Structure formats: structure tokens, C-alpha cells
Homo-oligomer: A and B are copies of this chain.
Amino acid sequence: MGGTMDGTKRQRRGDTRQRIQDVALELFAEQGYEKTSLREIAEHLDVTKAALYYHFKTKEEILVGIFEDLTRPIEELIEWGRGQPHTLATKQEIVRRYSDALDGATPLFRFMQENQATVRDLRIGERFKERMRGLREIMIDPEASLVDQVRSLSAIFTLHAGMFAVHDLEGDPEEKHKAVLEVATDMITQAHAGTKPAQDEA
């Protein structure tokens, strides 16, 4: 327990904070937040629990750190979206970019999705909701029919679910990924068409 030498470490320097986040995310995603103990994280890193506390004030802060880092692209996407006209092309572009953003943070999103109950009363719960609210604002037209609004929402969830639920489908991962994107794009397109009868891009 907590040895000190065995060749393949010690060269690391100053990256401990990052390594903690990496290992933590891996374990959080694999086993869930509550079921992952700090002891476990520490052991994976060959440091003591106390070392974690040097870098983060609480277990929760570790998660906050991960969230802030991995979630920035989405924040930027929303920022960008707010500055664009609400055209079909924009929305389609948002879907495309959001899909990319998700890809870049798959483990975090897997974690968020599979630990909603937990996340809800963690600090990141509110932060996450805010982002979602942001996404909705740039994707959903409040004037649209309820059905079309749901369609837009569904496009987002298709992307989310697409990250995992699709595993049990047969086929090449690349292909499946593309299929998910296509379906989502399709839905947002239908939602938009319903709203403004096809004349806006003309």
C-alpha cells in the first residue's frame, strides 16, 4: 500500500493534479461517483489520500475541476451560437459542433448521464443545467409548436444517447457515429421546417 519506487514513475513532475483528474474521471465514469473512494483513486496513482487533498479541497472539487476543463468547448459553442442568426444552417452547425464537443468529453458525459441523481446535488449540477438551458436557447424556437420543440430536444438527446446506447447495435463504430449525427440533424431540420415553412433559407 502506497509504496514509493518501482521504476516507472517518479519522473512525473507537477502533473499530479492532472493525473488525479484523469484517474478520477476514469473511475467515476466506470463505477459512479459515490462508489469511487478517494482511497481507490489514490491507490491507482500510488500516492496517499492526503496527497489528493493537497491538490483539491474536497472530493467534489476534483469533479468540479474535471467538469470545468472538459466542458469549456460547449460553453464556447453556446457563446458562439448566441451570436448567430436562428437559421436552419446555424442549427445544423450547432448539432455538428455539439456532437464533436461530446466526442471530446465522452467519459465525462457518460458520467453525467449515469449519475444524474448524484450530480444533481453536487455543485456541477447547477452548472450543467445552465449549459443545457443555454443549448436549448440556441436550438429551440419558443415560438415553435410544442411538437417541434420536443423534436429539437430529442435531437439533443439522440446525440447524448448515441454515445452509449448505440453500443449494442451491430456495425462499424464510425458508421454508427455518422448515423447518429444524421438522425439528429434530420430531427432538427424537421423541427425547423415545421416552424418556418421552408422559405427562410431560400
Q: Show the binding face of A for B, using Cβ within 8 Å.
A: 31-35, 111, 113-118, 120, 133, 136, 142, 145-147, 149-151, 153-154, 157-158, 161-162, 165-166, 168-171, 175-176, 179-180, 182-183, 187
Which residues of chain B are near A170, meaning CB under 8 Å? 142
- Could you tell me if B168 and A136 are in contact, using CB atoms closer than 8 angstroms? yes
Chain B: minimal CB distance from A66 (Å): 15
8 new A-B contacts, CB < 8 A, other than A114-B115, A115-B117, A150-B158, are: A32-B34, A32-B118, A34-B34, A35-B118, A146-B179, A149-B169, A149-B179, A153-B169
Q: Which residues of B contact A182 (CB under 8 A)?
A: 147, 150
- Tell whether A153 pairs with B171 under 8 Å between CB atoms, given A32-B117, A147-B179, A179-B146: no
- Docked-complex contact B168 and A183, CB < 8 angstroms: no
**Nearest residue in B to A142 (C-beta to C-beta)?**
B170
A158 is contacted by which of B33, B149, B154, B179 (Cβ under 8 Å)?
A: B154
Q: Quick one: given A32-B117, A32-B118, A117-B32, are A146 and B171 in contact (CB under 8 Å)?
A: yes
12 A–B contact pairs at CB < 8 A?
Answer: A33-B117, A114-B116, A114-B120, A136-B168, A142-B170, A145-B179, A146-B179, A149-B169, A150-B162, A150-B169, A150-B180, A151-B183
Residue of A31, A111, A158, A162 most packed against chain B (CB within 10 A): A158
Chain B residue numbers with a CB within 8 Å of A150 are 158, 162, 166, 169, 176, 179-180, 182-183
In Å, the complex CA distance between A92 and B113 comes to: 28
Q: Is the CB of B142 within 8 A of A153?
A: no
Which of B116, B142, B146, B153 is in CB contact (< 8 Å) with A113? B116
**A168 contacts across to B, CB distance below 8 A:** 133, 136
